[in-house]
Amino acid sequence: MKLKEKQKKMLETYIASFGVAVAQSYQANSDLGIDGLLIAGLIAVVGPAIRAINPKDPAFGWVANVADAELKKLAKKAETKKKAPVKKKSSGGGKPSQMA
């Protein structure tokens, strides 16, 4: 199964949230046990999961697709407008020498 870039970012978010919550919970209370650590990790994943479900979320939802498409259009437009600078020929009129 090949994941799209957006799906990879979402998965990374889930893994990071889960890992941080488990590590923090273990550090705070090492007697919590495996069940408590797993619950803490799952609770941490709820936030990103809700964002993924929300179609108007600016990071993962429908708004993100529209914004991404618009940004790509603007970048492409700016790239086509950007040309190499044209060198101006010197007219020989630089700084006048000081004559005393």
The predicted-structure confidence for 6-19, as pLDDT tens digits, reads as follows 778 878 888 888 88
pLDDT of residue 92: 57
Q: CA separation (Å) from 38 to 21, 42, 44, 59? A: 9, 6, 10, 26
* CB burial of residue 40 (10 Å; 0-12, 13-18, 19+): buried
Q: CA separation (Å) from 96 to 1, 88, 89, 90? A: 71, 19, 18, 14
Give pLDDT tens digits for 33-92: 888 888 888 888 887 788 777 777 777 666 666 777 777 888 888 777 666 566 666 565
pTM reported for the whole predicted model: 0.49
pLDDT of residue 83: 60
Give pLDDT tens digits for 21-32: 889 888 888 787
